[in-house]
Amino acid sequence: MNEFHRRYPTGSIVSDLLQIHDGLFIVKTTLLVGDTILATGMAAAPTLEQAEDSARQRALQLLGIHLPVQTEAELIPHPPAALAAAPLSEAGSTDLLLEPTPPPNPHRSKPAAKPASEKLPPKREPVDLSDEIAQTTLEMKRLGWTEAQGRACLLERYGKRSRQQLTDEELLDFLHFLQRQPSGGEPSF
């Protein structure tokens, strides 16, 4: 965390316990400078400390700051089967799970063009955006939106009916849009 405070002397790190589900603590960490959100990270773990550490680590990694990595086995030795089967929205959507996933790749931009004579690097693995999908679910719950309101927003903004149809950039844009909305109001799209 010293690196974060060196880069952002007026920055702050805020961790919020979102909920406790099937014995797992679900924590969201937000990295801020003033009112500007630099990055967020979410994690679930059997202890509050593990969840907070993992969420903080994920948020810092998005800024290119790396701390010692905890393995998934350290976070949840035996993931409860009920968590994987539990619906997360009132409509019964099971499009995301709240168990720890590998941290997302902080370098999401396209690589620079190489000269034709240079050998091309192997294709990049798909980016895991399950944390961002989980965050959109929590943000929609914070806003009090129904599934129909979320779909209407996706149709209006992106012409798509589901978060799974969004590109990586659209999903991140949708998450940032939701985070900017005041709590408990009507959709302002």
Q: In tens digits, what is the pLDDT along the chain, a chain of 189 residues?
A: 788 888 888 988 999 999 998 889 999 999 988 889 989 999 999 999 999 988 998 988 888 888 765 544 444 444 444 444 444 444 433 333 344 444 555 555 445 555 555 566 666 566 677 888 889 989 989 999 898 988 999 999 999 988 888 898 999 999 999 999 988 656 666
Hey, what are 143's tokens?
């806003």
pLDDT at 88: 42
CA pair distance 164, 183, nearest whole angstrom: 24
Burial 34-60 (b: 16+ CB within 10 A, else e): eeeebbbbbbbbbeeebbbbbbbbbbb
**Ordered structural domains, the chain, with CATH:** 1-69 (3.30.160.20), 127-183 (no CATH)
Hey, what are 46's tokens?
């059997």
Angle at 160 between CA 159 and CA 161, to 5 degrees: 130
**Which residues are CB-neighbours of 12 under 8 A, at least 6 positions away?**
31, 32, 33
Neighbours of 140 (CB within 10 A): 21
pLDDT at 1: 75
Decide the pairing of beta strands 24-33 and 11-21: antiparallel
Whats the size of the chain, residue-wise? 189
pLDDT at 22: 86
Hey, what are 183's tokens?
């709590």
Q: Are 42 and 55 in contact (CB under 8 A)?
A: yes
pLDDT at 183: 82
User: DSSP letter at 163?
Assistant: G
